[in-house]
Chains A and B, each alone.
Chain A
């Protein structure tokens, strides 16, 4: 009896394990989509709730505040019709690409979702993105410079538009009796003027400025400036100095002398001028590492910094970027795409068109995170009043928002597409290769020329890989 029970136990354990494994391998999406969707907390009223309602999974990243805003938009969409229910799959930004690519290896990607800018072209080329053009046959298209193209074909559209700006801590300027940075392109500071002001605002623990006798660079209590040194943002300085990261067809790494000189100038703000805190460039956190610290007078970051007002107790303003040789800016915006695995490309396209429209994402725009993507939102005064004057986060920036952000975004001679709109593998080239190499240049162990030249072949190989 005892031996028999031992045997039964062993058989039971084997069966249970097999059952568990089979259950784990089962295709969750094989079940027909149910009406009302599966996210009961966020499903709203569920519209019609027909059993034939298609469930679309929409993946996204963002901090909790952004995710909440997005969920509110999804609830509106789900309530507005009864054919499709969109369920949010929220993934942390740091593991977003890895998670989706892992899902891809099991053939289970979401239907549609946000896509990281630096992987869009690579995903399109490697077949992870559907080539379904969500705006095919439409008139009111997103701005051309925030449209991702591979081999001449549109592969994704940004859901937002962003340009870079110079943010400043008003209190620090007021205390020093120095006028705020210029807010119009016409008055933009040259690089030297920018350094000169930053020098006056940098003080050590004895109140001395860089250049004064006895200035102690090891005891700086307030910095004049900080540049976001995350690699994609460095492209603006390359353009400003007459250089470029990539050839215009996106097929070869340029990283010319002007680019190297521009990045060295940025590194020298800390190393030589002693006016900027050390920033190794491994985090895209320009605002956090400057204005957010409270002891840095100026810092560069994207338009999205408008929304940080909700999280910091610092009164900050906005101005235009300084320039080296040419006034320059770059634009970007998180794109959305339809994943190749979806069975519902038409429904996903309908949803993304709805989701990407300003009317339906107005909260994200009003909260300061996004700017609109369609031209009529930049030219129609009623719409401008709605998203600029009607935003509690833009109002404190005053007229400077329109001149330092809006006018810059509309100046297509000054503002260009970030390289990832036309270049594949920018993650591998810029984040995987250039960024770790530049850390040594930012801390002064090597020059920018040394690290760029040493990484040139690796960058080209990373760009060429398929």
Chain B
């Protein structure tokens, strides 16, 4: 067989494999298109119409939906009953607190759990359990704990001779209280950090030990640089989850006190599924998407300057 025949046969095989690959991709592509991209596009289109739930109802007396241009986008920022700018602010405030707290807390716990200690498996499970508990149940349990009358936390404060706190009923303490709960449930980050810590080469620590480096120096100059890819992944994961926060508002705070916990997702839900204004909810969803994308972009754009990949220099 000549060289060109071989090439043709290879090309035939490759194209057959490609066809099979495309066939295998069809189900996933169809599924993704039908349940993600087409609804996304429909939401975007809907945001330019004064679409109401009533427009979908057979026999409805509502006039047909009208194209309103950017009116929905303007209204969500200027209508005081929606006040989307406030929702962007409170969501970002919550996400920053929850992400920073979760990363620090889970890295700290992971480092403790990475040490040789008795009942290590038990403690690893203990810190992971909050993550797998149903989110609404967690919120309601914390709501009980944080109650002004009869709440365990306030009981402890009073026993310590301190003043009771309204926690979730106070606009200045509501978000920090919810961030603490989010941090408490970040057991998945602990597991990922633990996996990363076990991949930090021991030889670096041993060499640094011989050179007389302190534990803090080893942590700062060896552990953290080696962990930066994992930190990046956890940051991204935590950011996406916390920007989409909705359960605390749905289960407990209902967006209050005031509008202090009127998160973007909850506002979108309220506008679309309670207020029936699907066009405006679509506009909120679209801006929400952009806000989340900006944060993800910033994270990716800055990642090159602080992520350390072992053997990075060998890559092309």
Pairwise interchain contact A440-B276, C-beta atoms closer than 8 A: no
Who on chain A is nearest to B149 by CB? Answer: A277
Pairwise interchain contact B148-A278, C-beta atoms closer than 8 A: yes
Encoded as 1 (CB less than 8 Å from any B CB) or 0, chain A from 249 to 279 comes to: 0000000000000000000000000000110
In the bound complex, CA of A130 to CA of B61 (Å): 9
In the bound complex, CA of A302 to CA of B99 (Å): 44
A457 lies within 8 A of chain B by Cβ: yes
Q: Are A465 and B149 CB-contacts (below 8 A) given A13-B24, A443-B166, A445-B257?
A: no
Query: How would you classify the secondary structure of chain A's contact residues: helix, strand, loop or mixed?
Result: helix
Q: Are A443 and B54 CB-contacts (below 8 A) given A98-B274, A428-B275?
A: no
In the bound complex, CA of A440 to CA of B83 (Å): 18
Pairwise interchain contact B20-A461, C-beta atoms closer than 8 A: no
Who on chain B is nearest to A445 by CB? Answer: B170
Binds B, one of A3-11, A171-179, A347-355, A411-419: A3-11
Interface centre among B19, B53, B81, by most chain A C-beta atoms within 10 angstroms, is B81
A406 lies within 8 A of chain B by Cβ: no
Residues of A within 8 A of B170 (CB): 440, 443, 445
Who on chain B is nearest to A428 by CB? Answer: B275
Residues of B within 8 A of A81 (CB): none
Who on chain B is nearest to A122 by CB? Answer: B276
The number of inter-chain residue pairs (CB within 8 angstroms) is: 159
Q: Are A127 and B258 CB-contacts (below 8 A) given A428-B81, A465-B277?
A: no
Pairwise interchain contact B257-A436, C-beta atoms closer than 8 A: yes
CB distance from A166 to the nearest CB of B (A): 20
Pairwise interchain contact B53-A126, C-beta atoms closer than 8 A: yes
Residues of B within 8 A of A341 (CB): 57-59
- Residue from A21, A104, A278, A461 within 8 A of B57 (CB atoms): A104
A138 lies within 8 A of chain B by Cβ: no
Interface pairs A-B: 8 shortest CB-CB: A436-B256, A127-B60, A10-B23, A126-B54, A439-B257, A461-B81, A462-B81, A127-B54
Chain B interface (Cβ within 8 Å of chain A)? 16, 19-20, 23-24, 26-27, 30-31, 34, 52-54, 56-62, 79-83, 148-149, 158, 163-164, 166, 168-172, 252-259, 262, 269-270, 273-278
Chain A interface (Cβ within 8 Å of chain B)? 3, 6-7, 10-11, 13-14, 16-18, 21, 97-98, 101-102, 104-107, 109, 122, 126-128, 130-131, 218-220, 277-278, 280, 282, 339-341, 427-428, 431-433, 435-437, 439-440, 442-443, 445, 451, 454, 457-459, 461-462, 465-466
